[in-house]
């Protein structure tokens, strides 16, 4: 009897174990046979739903095997990205019935990159397509994760025109070794938001130089009992991005190329000093490092703070909350009449480890989703800047910018933009820069000493990459 019971228990245990088995090895899930059954169901629906005049599917269909691709997306702004992209995927699948797209949402940019890294290093097949930071370029190339896209553009009827249609600032991080590695998708920029009503009430014009910027911020700083209504707030908890336009406005970006930093260039040091002076000399901004990225938008839209440095990604939220007219402009530069900005956000990358037919399908999806119409639609729905010039000529966009002229102001800021910090060994060099610039902001070191130390350490950190 008891041996029989034991026998039963052992069998149950093995059953449990085998049930647990697949959980420990998740990779096989990524194989692609599934769509075979799905395809015939979807096909009849196509002509009814869409009236797209493209002949491509008709030509390609007989030669095309069904293929399924995964697309990894980060969700980095306060917009229903998931629902919006699901809609685009449905439209895409209607136009290319042999391709099935599985969008995978897995957190922010860092999470998506970590997920892909872990998959590849664990021996798995990566997704064919991913949206990752434009600045991750060198890390992704060095790790051998991504494939260049030149052959796809060459095969296009009007490939160069396609590339030229993207805003140049957004293409700044797409090339390396004369090859094209990424296509802009959800892009933003650093801008300065200002409260137009406050400026009008005080009879001040929007600033056109560091001097007039600092004076405006000083004039608009008011003390109201216990609280100070600051003229300017400028967060520095993750400082490189918001700081870059200050350096560019002084005449020197913080880096020259992927192996050369300009941290202690006299113009960059001057920009660090200007940030410090805004509080120390002009009293127009709270002193020291401000870990206020998340709270600055609330302070601005409540009308307390007159100007903030922030991302264009916050535009939609600010417009919804503010009870006054919002102005969007690039940072004023040091010299009268100069301005500066820096782009940000994510690009499409095709993953090298995915099978060739998936990579090809991924390019089709990129082409589809970066069409002027969808680029315009995505911009309107999310607040990202439309990545292509022609997107601004679409009827939908024209209607939108007539109502929301700030979207055009945000785009126009980009003509003063230079490249976002994208270098070899990005993580480490960026940490070094953050360490020292924060020491300068907090008065632990002088601007010159801090930037000298940052330059020395960064050069050491780049040595193994750049010999």
Partner 1 sequence: MSVIKSSAKKQKFNVFPYILTLPTVIFVALFTAWPVILSIYKSFFLQRMNIAKFREPTFIGLDNYLDLFADPNFHQVLKNTFNYVIGTVPISIFLGFFFALLVNRKIFLKGPIRLAFFHPMVLPMVSAATIWLFFFTPGYGLMNSALRVLGYSGPENWTGNPDLALLSVIIVAIWKNSGYYMIFYLAGLQKLPGDVFESAQLDGANGWQILWKITFPLLRRTTVFITTIAFIDAFRTVDHIFVLTTGGPSQASTVLLFQLWQERFENQNVGLASAITVIFILVLLIFTVTNFLISEREEK
* Smallest distance, partner 1 to C-beta of residue 101, A: 27
* Smallest distance, partner 1 to C-beta of residue 363, A: 25
Query: Based on CB atoms, which residue is closest to partner 1, 300 or 378?
Result: 300
Query: Based on CB atoms, which residue is closest to partner 1, 1 or 41?
Result: 1
Query: Based on CB atoms, which residue is closest to partner 1, 12 or 59?
Result: 12
Query: Based on CB atoms, which residue is closest to partner 1, 206 or 286?
Result: 286
Query: Is 388 in contact with 166 (CB distance < 8 Å)?
Result: yes
* Smallest distance, partner 1 to C-beta of residue 435, A: 5
Cα separation, 19 vs 467, in Å, equals 51
* Smallest distance, partner 1 to C-beta of residue 295, A: 5
Query: Is 387 in contact with 405 (CB distance < 8 Å)?
Result: no
Query: Based on CB atoms, which residue is closest to partner 1, 117 or 381?
Result: 117
Give residue 122's region: left, alpha or beta (phi > 0; psi -120 to 50). alpha
* Angle, helix 395-403 to helix 406-413, in steps of 10 degrees: 100
Structure tokens at 175: 């090339």
* Smallest distance, partner 1 to C-beta of residue 6, A: 6
Cα separation, 291 vs 239, in Å, equals 9
Query: Based on CB atoms, which residue is closest to partner 1, 141 or 192?
Result: 141
* Smallest distance, partner 1 to C-beta of residue 439, A: 5
Q: Which helix (H) or strand (E) holds 374?
A: helix 372-382
3-state secondary structure of 465: helix
Query: Based on CB atoms, which residue is closest to partner 1, 79 or 429?
Result: 429
Cα separation, 166 vs 204, in Å, equals 35
Query: Based on CB atoms, which residue is closest to partner 1, 292 or 387?
Result: 292
Query: Based on CB atoms, which residue is closest to partner 1, 159 or 286?
Result: 286
* Smallest distance, partner 1 to C-beta of residue 79, A: 18
Give residue 307's region: left, alpha or beta (phi > 0; psi -120 to 50). beta
List all residues 6 or more positions away from 342 whose beta carbon is below 8 Å from its beta carbon: 189, 190, 241, 244, 245, 248, 417, 418, 419, 420
Residues that bind partner 1 (CB under 8 A): 6, 9-10, 13, 16-17, 20, 24, 110, 113-114, 117, 121, 138-139, 142-144, 226-228, 236-238, 286-292, 294-295, 424-428, 430-431, 434-436, 438-439, 441-442, 444, 464-465
Query: Based on CB atoms, which residue is closest to partner 1, 98 or 434?
Result: 434
* Smallest distance, partner 1 to C-beta of residue 224, A: 10
Structure tokens at 303: 């009308």
* Smallest distance, partner 1 to C-beta of residue 202, A: 21
3-state secondary structure of 407: helix
CA distances from 172 to 25, 147, 344, 435 (A): 39, 18, 10, 26
DSSP strands (E only) in 96-211: 99-105, 129-133, 175-176, 179-180, 183-195
CB-count exposure of residue 412 (10 Å: 0-12, 13-18, 19+): middle
Cα separation, 388 vs 375, in Å, equals 7
* Smallest distance, partner 1 to C-beta of residue 238, A: 6
* Smallest distance, partner 1 to C-beta of residue 139, A: 5
Q: How many CB atoms lie within 10 A of CB 212?
A: 15
- C-alpha angle with apex 253: 247 to 259, nearest 5 degrees? 140
Q: How many residues does the chain have?
A: 467
Query: Based on CB atoms, which residue is closest to partner 1, 110 or 153?
Result: 110
């Amino acid at each position: 009897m008891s041996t029989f019971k034991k026998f039963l228990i052992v069998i149950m245990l093995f059953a449990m174990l085998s049930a647990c088995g697949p959980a420990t090895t998740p990779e096989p899930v990524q194989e692609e046979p599934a769509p075979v059954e799905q395809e015939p169901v979807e096909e009849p629906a196509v002509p009814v739903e869409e009236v797209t005049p493209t002949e491509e599917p008709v030509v390609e269909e007989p030669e095309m095997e069904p293929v399924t691709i995964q697309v990894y997306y980060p969700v980095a702004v306060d917009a229903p990205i998931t629902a919006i992209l699901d809609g685009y995927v449905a439209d895409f699948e209607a136009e290319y019935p042999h391709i099935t797209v599985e969008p995978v949402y897995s957190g922010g940019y860092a999470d998506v990159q970590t997920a892909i890294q872990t998959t590849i290093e664990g021996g798995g097949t990566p997704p064919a397509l991913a949206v990752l930071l434009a600045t991750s370029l060198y890390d992704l190339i060095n790790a051998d994760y991504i494939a260049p896209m030149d052959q796809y553009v060459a095969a296009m009827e009007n490939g160069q025109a396609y590339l030229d249609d993207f805003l140049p600032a957004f293409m700044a991080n797409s090339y390396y070794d004369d090859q094209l590695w990424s296509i802009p998708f959800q892009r933003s920029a650093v801008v300065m938001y200002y409260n137009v009503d406050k400026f009008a009430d005080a009879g001040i014009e929007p600033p056109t130089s560091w001097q007039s910027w600092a004076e405006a911020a000083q004039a608009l700083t008011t003390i109201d009992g216990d609280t100070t209504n600051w003229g300017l707030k400028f967060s520095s908890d993750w400082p490189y991005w918001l700081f870059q336009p200050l350096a560019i406005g002084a005449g020197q970006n913080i880096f020259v190329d992927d192996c050369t930093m300009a941290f202690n260039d006299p113009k960059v040091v001057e920009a660090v000093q200007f940030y410090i002076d805004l509080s120390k000399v002009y009293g127009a901004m709270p002193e020291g490092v401000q870990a206020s990225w998340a709270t600055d938008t609330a302070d601005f839209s409540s009308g307390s703070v007159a100007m903030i440095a922030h991302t264009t990604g916050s535009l939609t939220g600010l417009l919804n909350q503010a009870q006054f007219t919002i102005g969007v402009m690039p940072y004023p530069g040091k010299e009268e009449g100069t301005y500066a900005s820096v782009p940000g956000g994510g690009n499409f990358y095709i993953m090298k480890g995915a099978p060739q037919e998936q990579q090809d399908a991924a390019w089709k999806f990129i082409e589809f989703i970066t069409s002027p119409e969808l680029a315009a639609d995505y911009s309107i729905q999310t607040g990202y800047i439309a990545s292509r010039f022609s997107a601004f000529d679409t009827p939908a966009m024209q209607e939108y910018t007539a109502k929301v002229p700030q979207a055009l102001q945000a785009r126009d800021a980009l003509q003063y933009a230079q490249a976002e910090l994208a270098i070899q060994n990005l993580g480490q060099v960026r940490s070094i820069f953050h360490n020292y610039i924060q020491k300068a902001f907090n008065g632990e070191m002088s601007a010159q000493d801090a930037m000298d130390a940052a330059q020395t350490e960064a050069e050491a950190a780049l040595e193994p990459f750049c010999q």
